[in-house]
Structure 1
């Protein structure tokens, strides 16, 4: 029986023990021959042996898809079992040598003595067996268990946090074997760009460090993919390799510091040899000139060229507009402007997501929009052409190290938003010119008055005065809004961003962009900080321009639609709100009444939108709320300065003053803030 017991402890099967739903049991033919204490000790020893056999089976042939980490874990588990196996051999040797400490009277070996020797292994083997069971029952892909490196390390790390020192020591050694492989992979990814699966990083690594690892690895991979001839200095690579291999991902603060230093070093190398400061300056200036409409003459020319393109296609048989036609309009718009000789212009292009389209006339009826003012942000990309279009900029290497697709998407949305406001302003100014021209022509014949007889005189006078008043107030609002967005927001953010980059806050445009700008002082700005400044710059632009505010941008969207509707109506009437006298006599009073109703409706809608806009502007907080649907705006200088210098009272006061400046320009005569002082605005 003693030999059979040692065979069982060594991992062999035996007919003395059977496995039942109630656990291990002694054979029915053998159990009556033993003392109850011996039976209990034998069952305990058999339980330990059963745990050992289960763990050994995993260590020798893990029933999993070939995986470096699973294989390393199995090997480490096998190494831990060697101590138990040595204990079995040593104990059996002591029995054979009839050691007095184990063999009583030279011929009797108590089962309790054997149990005392092996009982210390029950907790570690039970913990290892439980780990193996969880691994087998873990996430699977198809019919095979599939444990990503990150989840496997998290699992072992979680089980290592126990108060039982022997178990904790074993699991910490298992962790060390897994960490060793992970560090080799991180080394290859960070310093050589060899791909690393996204699920390889465990949760013990902070999100900031994960982002830094992905950034550095992707940057090196892109550099090698593009065939860049220069590489990181060999001495620096050797130093970082040694530091990574000797690091511990579980010493969070030390590991975060190490990765941050590597990111800084790689960023500085990228900036010095791959993506230079001059490349970034040129890209930021080009994006500001053409996407943020800082090149005003070119932006106005583009709007007028697109309007002319639509008008030409409406009059021709070939009414299809393609993206190529819009790109030709860009080139025509650049003639005679500073953009004509700018090489960055060749990188700009329009895209039409729907492919091709026919030009649309403005809607002449009130838009029945179902968009809630507290829901998704409105889409301004369809104002310029009548269907959604996007201005794009190529994201090529090495500029892709600095700009992300999401950043370019933000620039495209800003371009659509700013162009929509600027276009509405231009159309209203053209409408004002059209009404003035029609009035001058009328005065050549009528001298005084608007013509007509009896009641017709009054109707024509009221219609003309109301139309002039409506156009005047629309132009006034858009001029105030554009001066705020273009001057107080875009220029402020852009100047502050250039200042933080160490560049002059203003530059003189030349016929071609300079290859290198003279930088004041000797301040060195690291690449990581520059990316953060650019992210803050974009956030400030979208927030302070009111585009990021669902309620405010929706009202602006409705106002632009109302302005476009008025322009379209007057164009339909021949460029004048008053019909010529002969036509009015033929139509009778019906035509005048119809026009008056249309102008009245447009005026009332615009007035209501203007009051809603001012009310939201006066009551909305400066900082966005957590609810994205109710988020409002952040003032440009407030965000940029608060992010770079820390939030302080001075920045908040500056933001409040700038917003109040916008409100004062909108409410100079107190017609919006004090309804009791409102004078009848009907002329």
Structure 2
């Protein structure tokens, strides 16, 4: 019987230890003996099942980490249990006094007592094996789930279970670290267990890889995961560059990085692991990426984005608007579709891709002619010629495309922008200014970033365009002065001359009276657009750019605090003195060359740039659809007003030719057209006024919204961790591994809706429009 028990405990099932004892056996065995046999049978059953399950897991489980843990269970604990059985058998055969009593009697209690400490451990191992081998509808057990469970079991309170869990945690984490080392040291996704690794190939992502957060162990912070994604992606791209030799570009310095990972002890500490990844990232940045992507290239690209997308170069916006208007007018003339100006929309005009590209080409020619003999010195313009594109947009939404992400972790590169179609205003069809990302800069700049710049450009350019169109109305001399002028002496003193003079003055008086409310409304719209544009460009765009540029180029907190303190005075002085933009760009280039620039690795730059873009879109109010929709409606009404004024001017010109020169158009009724256009102008004037009132009212509501104001003023610094999908700035921007890294980038407080509202004070214009109707009332009140 004793021999049968030991064989059964060794993994050979025996009917003797089954629970379905016969009546005869129950009559022979006492209750204590049956209980002891039940314990032995339970251990035997667990041992047999563990042998079978671990063999199956080690041979067929898709997770390498699960296989490693299963193999460790079999080779360590099941082997130790087998050794214990052999040890008990050896003691019995040697008649050890601890087991064999007088007359060579071996008490069953003593034999089973030798295995008392194994019952709880075997039961725990069986539960763990069942957890590993569970079959779900979607997928089997993942490495992250197993590591998290083992780390949780360290807190069980039982010393033997804690010791077992710790040894298996070491096995699992060491196997997982080998997968991580293949990625962060060589840029390769591990061949074995590829589907179990948290970095996955994703063709839909800009970088070609994405993070599957469900496969991420709990001790890995999202910022550390983002750094690992950046490191592996960078190494992967470096290997694809024919100009980079991996052996000489920093990939050969692997011994220190391997030692960094080897120094980690299990259970892995979240902070220690993040520091190790940061150290590897910074080493990679100083060796390989510093040669591949120097700071000068980043500053060059950011300056280009500031100048052309954020309208830092005002002449570009003016030239692009003029060339686009000329292209539309040319197409109207070719299509003989001048009757368009009677309509509200621009849908009758069809714009082709080639025409849009030609407009940008002519814009470059205009900008080149502005430079004169120094055109060859404008390197930024030459770079813009190569990188910038003006294309018809194929998508309806203007929100930047977001990378695929887990439901609980938003992609860090995603920047939410409202869907207001400002891109429709330049050509009457969706047209966007975009940029090609050169090869080295794609480590820093993403397609989502460019799309965010595109949305901001469409927004700012639409405001500038409407402002320019309204100002151009004052260039129509015949609408503002007597045209044609009264006859000169001596004819003016004759009877016919006096009659002619009176007729011209009466004509001018009638037209001037008809245009009074139009000029009043246009002046109010110009005032609104000018103040709004000045606020957005000087207070927001320029203020944030100066702060971000200073963070990029100036080392140390003291310089940043000192420059922040004087920023308001500098901007006020720049606005008051109207410093030439060429001088500003020259000073920026000098500061890049002369300042003691800190070393920012590409991920630090990327994270800070994302924060800069998010802050910019938020403070430009591009996240508030109520404001942007009302502003868009106002800009559409302004375009309609400008088109009607030009149409009315054309009608009056034709009427003057008919009255003065006898040029008659038999196919048109000029007087009926004039009356119709004047009625439409009054309606559009009311729409413009209501539009301005609506936008100002929305601004007032936003200024009194405490939640919105807190988000705009404090949310960028306080809530950046949430907005970054959990990334925050702790690893990308805030870490200083060796004291040589740049300080954390925190956007400076700029702008303020209250500052804009103080300027947008129209007095009683809005109230007067409700109580007084007619041309004189509108004009006098304004």
- TM-score band w.r.t. shorter chain: 0.7 to 0.9
Per-residue CA shift, 1:326-350, capped at 9, x if unaligned? 2221111111425875221221112
Q: TM-score, normalised by structure 2?
A: 0.73
Pair 1:425 & 2:467 matched? yes
Measure the CA separation in 2 of the matches of 1:613 and 1:66: 57
Measure the CA separation in 1 of the matches of 2:227 and 2:443: 13
1:178 is matched with which residue? 172
Per-residue CA shift, 1:572-631, capped at 9, x if unaligned? 445579995989995399647733642453244234324424423542449556xxxxx6
In structure 2, the CA distance between the partners of 1:322 and 1:186, relative to structure 1 (3 Å rule), is same
Pair 1:346 & 2:346 matched? no
- Which of 22, 40, 44 is 1:45 aligned to? 40
Structure 2 unaligned regions, length at least 5:
191-196, 199-211, 337-348, 397-416, 487-500, 555-562, 564-569, 571-579, 660-667, 721-732, 735-742
1:105 is matched with which residue? 102
2:399 is matched with which residue? none
Answer yes or no: is the 8 Å Cα contact 1:353–1:389 preserved in 2. Answer: yes
Pair 1:214 & 2:288 matched? no
- Which of 255, 259, 272 is 1:242 aligned to? 259
Measure the CA separation in 1 of the matches of 2:715 and 2:106: 85
What is the DSSP-based 3-state SS (H/G/I as helix, E as strand, rest coil) of the residue aligned with 1:16? helix
Answer yes or no: is the 8 Å Cα contact 1:480–1:662 preserved in 2. Answer: yes
- Which of 426, 439, 451 is 1:409 aligned to? 451
In structure 2, the CA distance between the partners of 1:538 and 1:351, relative to structure 1 (3 Å rule), is same
Measure the CA separation in 1 of the matches of 2:516 and 2:477: 11
What is the DSSP-based 3-state SS (H/G/I as helix, E as strand, rest coil) of the residue aligned with 1:390? strand
Pair 1:500 & 2:495 matched? no
Equivalent runs, 1:135-534 vs 2, <5 Å: 135-139=132-136, 141=138, 146-195=140-189, 197-198=197-198, 199=212, 201-227=216-242, 228-229=244-245, 231-233=248-250, 236-248=253-265, 250-316=268-334, 320-338=350-368, 342-344=381-383, 345-354=385-394, 377-434=419-476, 437=479, 439-441=481-483, 446-450=503-507, 463-502=514-553, 508=582, 519-527=593-601, 528-534=603-609
In structure 2, the CA distance between the partners of 1:557 and 1:514, relative to structure 1 (3 Å rule), is closer
Deviation, structure 1 residue 552? 2.4
Deviation, structure 1 residue 8? 1.2
In structure 2, the CA distance between the partners of 1:523 and 1:334, relative to structure 1 (3 Å rule), is closer
- Which of 12, 17, 34 is 2:29 aligned to? 34
Deviation, structure 1 residue 664? 2.4
Per-residue CA shift, 1:309-331, capped at 9, x if unaligned? 22223333697533332222111
What is the DSSP-based 3-state SS (H/G/I as helix, E as strand, rest coil) of the residue aligned with 1:216? helix
Aligned pairs, number? 641
In structure 2, the CA distance between the partners of 1:553 and 1:638, relative to structure 1 (3 Å rule), is farther
What is the DSSP-based 3-state SS (H/G/I as helix, E as strand, rest coil) of the residue aligned with 2:390? strand
2:672 is matched with which residue? 587
What is the DSSP-based 3-state SS (H/G/I as helix, E as strand, rest coil) of the residue aligned with 1:350? strand
Deviation, structure 1 residue 461? 6.2
Answer yes or no: is the 8 Å Cα contact 2:147–2:217 preserved in 1. Answer: yes
1:548 is matched with which residue? 623
What is the DSSP-based 3-state SS (H/G/I as helix, E as strand, rest coil) of the residue aligned with 1:349? strand
Measure the CA separation in 2 of the matches of 1:72 and 1:297: 65
Answer yes or no: is the 8 Å Cα contact 1:48–1:125 preserved in 2. Answer: yes
- Which of 68, 73, 79 is 1:77 aligned to? 73
1:612 is matched with which residue? 697
What is the DSSP-based 3-state SS (H/G/I as helix, E as strand, rest coil) of the residue aligned with 2:110? helix
What is the DSSP-based 3-state SS (H/G/I as helix, E as strand, rest coil) of the residue aligned with 2:111? helix
In structure 2, the CA distance between the partners of 1:489 and 1:593, relative to structure 1 (3 Å rule), is closer
Answer yes or no: is the 8 Å Cα contact 2:627–2:699 preserved in 1. Answer: no
Deviation, structure 1 residue 225? 1.8
Measure the CA separation in 2 of the matches of 1:623 and 1:594: 41
Higher relative contact order (CA 8 A, sep 6+): 2
Deviation, structure 1 residue 355? 9.2
2:683 is matched with which residue? 598
Structure 1 unaligned regions, length at least 5:
19-23, 357-374, 626-630
Q: TM-score, normalised by structure 1?
A: 0.83
Measure the CA separation in 2 of the matches of 1:150 and 1:635: 33
Measure the CA separation in 1 of the matches of 2:718 and 2:70: 56
In structure 2, the CA distance between the partners of 1:589 and 1:255, relative to structure 1 (3 Å rule), is closer
Measure the CA separation in 1 of the matches of 2:531 and 2:468: 14
In structure 2, the CA distance between the partners of 1:95 and 1:575, relative to structure 1 (3 Å rule), is farther
Answer yes or no: is the 8 Å Cα contact 1:623–1:634 preserved in 2. Answer: no
Measure the CA separation in 1 of the matches of 2:136 and 2:456: 43
Measure the CA separation in 1 of the matches of 2:463 and 2:63: 58
Measure the CA separation in 1 of the matches of 2:586 and 2:52: 73
Per-residue CA shift, 1:629-651, capped at 9, x if unaligned? xx6678999999x9978989xx6
Measure the CA separation in 1 of the matches of 2:310 and 2:86: 80
Answer yes or no: is the 8 Å Cα contact 2:323–2:363 preserved in 1. Answer: yes
Answer yes or no: is the 8 Å Cα contact 2:250–2:288 preserved in 1. Answer: no
Answer yes or no: is the 8 Å Cα contact 1:347–1:393 preserved in 2. Answer: yes
What is the DSSP-based 3-state SS (H/G/I as helix, E as strand, rest coil) of the residue aligned with 2:639? helix
In structure 2, the CA distance between the partners of 1:579 and 1:343, relative to structure 1 (3 Å rule), is closer
Answer yes or no: is the 8 Å Cα contact 1:180–1:245 preserved in 2. Answer: no
In structure 2, the CA distance between the partners of 1:499 and 1:376, relative to structure 1 (3 Å rule), is closer
Per-residue CA shift, 1:477-496, capped at 9, x if unaligned? 11111111222222222222
In structure 2, the CA distance between the partners of 1:514 and 1:632, relative to structure 1 (3 Å rule), is closer
Answer yes or no: is the 8 Å Cα contact 2:121–2:160 preserved in 1. Answer: yes
1:371 is matched with which residue? none
Deviates more, 1:43-52 or 1:544-553: 544-553
